[in-house]
Amino acid sequence: MNRPAKKRFGESTLSQPSTPTPDQLMFPSLNAAVPPEVPAPSVAEPVLDKDRWVAFGSYTRLGTYLQLKQAEFWEPGFEIREFVEQALQAALAQLPSAQKELPPHVLDKLLKTNRKLSPK
């Protein structure tokens, strides 16, 4: 019984000239007569969802904390984070420096180093 010779694994792919080499994949401009078009990097403003809740740890006196917990227990619909947000917004509205935008380089550094501000 004569059997046809087995094909070697990968034989058909090795003989195909259209298969790019790893160098061609990593550096397509090495083999191209015309350099590939590289899109210009866009300098877009980072999009921040300013209404997204962000965990923020701070300190308060024990008496203030107990008052918050008492209000949460006794006041129907009272939410501590909503109350703190409203109180902070009212206080920040009276502080002119809080209304000034951060300089771009400071904002960029903050966005790169603070995981809370990364988009989700």
Low-confidence ranges of the chain (pLDDT < 70): 1-18, 26-46, 120
The answer to whether 72 touches 78, Cβ cutoff 8 Å, is yes
User: Whole-angstrom Cα distance, residue 84 to residue 95?
Assistant: 17
Residue 25 near residue 32, CB atoms below 8 Å: no
Question: For the chain, percent helix, then strand, then coil, each to nearest 5?
Answer: 45, 0, 55
The mean predicted confidence, pLDDT, of the chain is 80
What tens digit of pLDDT does each residue of 47-75 get? 778 888 888 888 999 999 999 999 999 99
The upper half-sphere exposure of residue 75, i.e. CA atoms within 13 Å in the direction of its Cβ, equals 11
Look up residue 107 and give its two tokens. 């904002």
Q: Please count the other Cβ atoms lying within 10 Å of the Cβ belonging to residue 69.
A: 11
